[in-house]
Chains A and B, each alone.
Chain A
């Protein structure tokens, strides 16, 4: 074929023709706009409507944002500054309320001379949580994570240092009892001792000893009651405590619900369904109105602690369902393989089942965390001063009566940043743990 061809053609061009530029409509911005905005009549309509909406929204919001007043003592002062600067009745945000009430929005009624304590607790929290979030950091930091709850509690609430130290000592006692008893009495007796001894220590010894030590060596910080907590600090403390406590509880509940033991299974199912079937707000009212009925006469404990317990139980029930989904999604072969290796139940769960099941359920777990963090705003209804409660309080003052949007925008933005970064982190984690097969 090619031979004949070569003979029939008299002239063959030796140099390549330079490629012509593509038509203008097929390159650059024209092509992009045509393909992404105006590819069909429906899309033309949608694009025009969307652009009109965006322009309309920006025309209303941008002047409001850009002509904002940041330094004023009250709303009337704000209005005067606005009238002087931008003309009578111009759209103008009065963000002065944020600058003036900044500390209150962040810390509630925490005494100002002690603001360094929650700030330090927050910085240390970031240090403590970083080795959990990022595997690349030195593992030794985890030891700090383990003792952080006590440091955080001591910094925030104050009191003598002996209480938290003696509580830590309880864990040491439990560990020591286990190590001492295991070779002599066997695993079971050692485990029982490791549970009972610290409990006895916490219930009967810590109180008096801490009191005595405080008399001898009064090292500590000024005690600050939960009533003074408020603002984002409150939302953050409830959220973080709820997240940290509900995760292990949720795993236990999920395992209980998957269990073959009839009574364990049924009681876990009952707990999960009852908690999930009733709105959180009803549970919070239960905590504030009814808990006194259920506890021994005369017991009265902190409202904030009650809220943390309720939020934890609530989130744990949701978490249990999410993790159960992950457990159910694992192929049966994984369970059988664990049995075939001769692992006992806890080892099989810890080494084979849970790592995979938790990986599958990361999106759901993080969604539960986000939901829990958002739900911390509900505590306003039982009288705690979370950011929304504070915004009501600020509006009730004579200076700032009638201010809405600036506070809503600020509070919404802070929650948005927290929740959005959590969801981004979960996507990062999913990508990192992706092994290519499920």
Chain B
């Protein structure tokens, strides 16, 4: 009987190893995923090409240079119906940025006040803030926009009611008129010498910055504390006010006045802008209030007590101990709320505010029939905007992150 010696296991490669051998498995999975992804995208692209060919369309951005042919009632730069689609898109982009910026500022102010007041020991104030926060957070933003727009158009007096003996009157010493055509506020008139005034103002801001730096450095060196806040305030106001009178009041105000059937002069803020702005800031403010509240609660009580034990006064405790720690918790979600607000400004469609979605992604598409190009550009704009904002956030995060280990 002959026995054959067992052959030594061959070190050869067999297909099963691609799946069962952990050395190769991740590679296999990735290659399969890559192939599937590429198949999917090529399927999409080939469908699109085929569909475009069937419809007799091409993929071409040159329509941006053509005459737009529609009017935009709300604009920050010169625009007429003779301008190009690209110009219309730019007007829309600026409008989006305008309402987003105004909204972020107002929402931050509302949110910080509401968040701090919600923690107040005052029973009725904290209850009111709870009602505000829960009320705004749990109802769709779109409903708020429409409701505030209806309030602005239905609940406000007509311009003719502002006449002598009418039912309505202007606010703030006859300077602001809230009517159903919009809000009229005094407009600044830049006279000769306003440039010099602007330069003085910028210089005083530079001065404040330098003073703060100096005060900080001096405190680090000697321990002596200089009056930063009072001096900053004085630097901000005194030179500008002096220059204003020395230059002979170069900046005047153009008050809105009732002429005929409507107001003339002043700055006309349309109801669509006001309603969108108010709704966005009140809605986002409710979210920011919760973030601020969470941030303040996240700093443990021991920190305050420790600061008091070190002999810091309450305001210095707030500025040097509590705020730096609370801000680290508050800022990242705050920025993502800003991002949400910017994206939510696309709800301008509900009130007819001409933002980038209505120009580039709306009327331009309807007029040229270029859905694919228009939506791609629109999506690209929003994507770019949010990438810029979120990379700024990441930069800030990495700066204030706790350095451990």
Check if B122 sits within 8 Å of A374, measured CB to CB. no
Check if B47 sits within 8 Å of A293, measured CB to CB. yes
Decide: A420 near B125, CB < 8 A? Known: A261-B29, A263-B33, A412-B143: no
Which of A96-104, A246-254, A375-383 participates in binding chain B? A375-383
Whether a CB of chain B sits under 8 angstroms from the CB of A334 is: no
Whether a CB of chain B sits under 8 angstroms from the CB of A279 is: yes
Check if B143 sits within 8 Å of A408, measured CB to CB. yes
Question: Closest A-chain residue to B37, C-beta based?
Answer: A267
Q: Which of A348-367 contact B (CB under 8 A)?
A: none
Decide: A297 near B47, CB < 8 A? Known: A264-B33, A415-B140: yes
Going nearest first, the 9 A-B pairs with the smallest beta carbon separation are A419-B138, A36-B123, A277-B383, A279-B343, A277-B386, A374-B140, A279-B346, A377-B140, A263-B30
- Give A274 to B124 CA distance when docked, in angstroms: 44
Question: Closest B-chain residue to A380, C-beta based?
Answer: B142
How far apart are B35's CB and chain A's nearest CB, in angstroms? 10
Which of B182-190, B221-229, B370-378 participates in binding chain A? B370-378
- Give A409 to B346 CA distance when docked, in angstroms: 24
* Interface residues, chain A, with chain B CB atoms under 8 Å away: 35-37, 39, 43, 46-47, 50-51, 53-54, 188, 260-264, 267, 273-274, 276-282, 285-286, 289-290, 292-297, 370, 374-375, 377-378, 380-381, 388, 404-405, 408, 411-412, 415-416, 419-420, 423
| Chain A residues, Cβ within 8 Å of B122 | 36-37, 39, 43, 46-47, 50
- Give A267 to B33 CA distance when docked, in angstroms: 10
- Give A281 to B357 CA distance when docked, in angstroms: 9
- Give A376 to B34 CA distance when docked, in angstroms: 34
Check if A50 sits within 8 Å of B44, measured CB to CB. no
Total interface residues on B, CB under 8 Å, equals: 54
- Give A303 to B209 CA distance when docked, in angstroms: 57
Instruction: Fill in one digit per residue for B338-376: 1 if any A CB lies within 8 Å of its CB, else 0.
Output: 000001101101100000010001000100000110010
User: Which of B44, B123, B385, B386 touches A37 (beta carbons < 8 Å)?
Assistant: B123
Check if A388 sits within 8 Å of B146, measured CB to CB. yes
Which of B6-14, B48-56, B75-83, B308-316 participates in binding chain A? B48-56
Whether a CB of chain A sits under 8 angstroms from the CB of B382 is: yes
User: Which of A50, A292, A374, A423 touches B51 (beta carbons < 8 Å)?
Assistant: A292
User: Which of B120, B139, B378 touches A282 (beta carbons < 8 Å)?
Assistant: B378
Check if A188 sits within 8 Å of B382, measured CB to CB. no
Whether a CB of chain A sits under 8 angstroms from the CB of B26 is: yes
Check if A374 sits within 8 Å of B44, measured CB to CB. no
Check if A295 sits within 8 Å of B47, measured CB to CB. yes
Can you name 9 A-B residue pairings with CB atoms under 8 Å? A37-B122, A50-B124, A261-B30, A279-B346, A295-B47, A388-B142, A412-B147, A416-B138, A419-B137
- Give A51 to B51 CA distance when docked, in angstroms: 64
Decide: A293 near B372, CB < 8 A? Known: A277-B387, A378-B142: yes
* Interface residues, chain B, with chain A CB atoms under 8 Å away: 19, 26, 29-30, 33-34, 37, 44, 47-48, 50-52, 54, 117, 120-125, 128, 134-135, 137-143, 146-147, 150, 154, 343-344, 346-347, 349-350, 357, 361, 365, 371-372, 375, 378-379, 382-383, 385-387
Check if A411 sits within 8 Å of B143, measured CB to CB. yes
Decide: A278 near B379, CB < 8 A? Known: A51-B124, A416-B138: yes
How far apart are B181's CB and chain A's nearest CB, in angstroms? 18
| Chain B residues, Cβ within 8 Å of A54 | 124, 128
User: Which of B30, B47, B346 touches A281 (beta carbons < 8 Å)?
Assistant: B346
How far apart are A32's CB and chain B's nearest CB, in angstroms? 8
| Chain A residues, Cβ within 8 Å of B140 | 374-375, 377, 388, 415
- Give A81 to B238 CA distance when docked, in angstroms: 63
Question: Closest A-chain residue to B343, C-beta based?
Answer: A279
Question: Closest B-chain residue to A412, C-beta based?
Answer: B139
Decide: A277 near B51, CB < 8 A? Known: A261-B26, A374-B140: no
- Give A29 to B80 CA distance when docked, in angstroms: 67
| Chain B residues, Cβ within 8 Å of A423 | 138
| Chain A residues, Cβ within 8 Å of B142 | 377-378, 380, 388
Decide: A293 near B124, CB < 8 A? Known: A370-B138, A415-B143, A416-B138: no
| Chain B residues, Cβ within 8 Å of A293 | 47-48, 51-52, 371-372
Indicate the member of A276, A281, A381 with the most B CB atoms within 10 Å: A281
| Chain B residues, Cβ within 8 Å of A416 | 135, 138-139
Check if B51 sits within 8 Å of A415, measured CB to CB. no
Indicate the member of A36, A370, A375, A423 with the most B CB atoms within 10 Å: A36
Check if A297 sits within 8 Å of B383, measured CB to CB. no
Question: Closest B-chain residue to A235, C-beta based?
Answer: B140
Decide: A404 near B346, CB < 8 A? Known: A267-B33, A295-B47, A419-B139: no
- Give A370 to B134 CA distance when docked, in angstroms: 12
Check if A46 sits within 8 Å of B125, measured CB to CB. yes
- Give A15 to B33 CA distance when docked, in angstroms: 89
How far apart are A360's CB and chain B's nearest CB, in angstroms? 15
- Give A297 to B51 CA distance when docked, in angstroms: 6
Check if A297 sits within 8 Å of B121, measured CB to CB. no
- Give A188 to B28 CA distance when docked, in angstroms: 14
| Chain B residues, Cβ within 8 Å of A378 | 142, 347
- Give A43 to B33 CA distance when docked, in angstroms: 62
Check if A282 sits within 8 Å of B379, measured CB to CB. yes
Decide: A47 near B26, CB < 8 A? Known: A277-B382, A277-B383, A293-B47: no
| Chain B residues, Cβ within 8 Å of A294 | 44, 47-48
- Give A294 to B47 CA distance when docked, in angstroms: 5
Check if B47 sits within 8 Å of A296, measured CB to CB. yes
| Chain B residues, Cβ within 8 Å of A377 | 140, 142-143
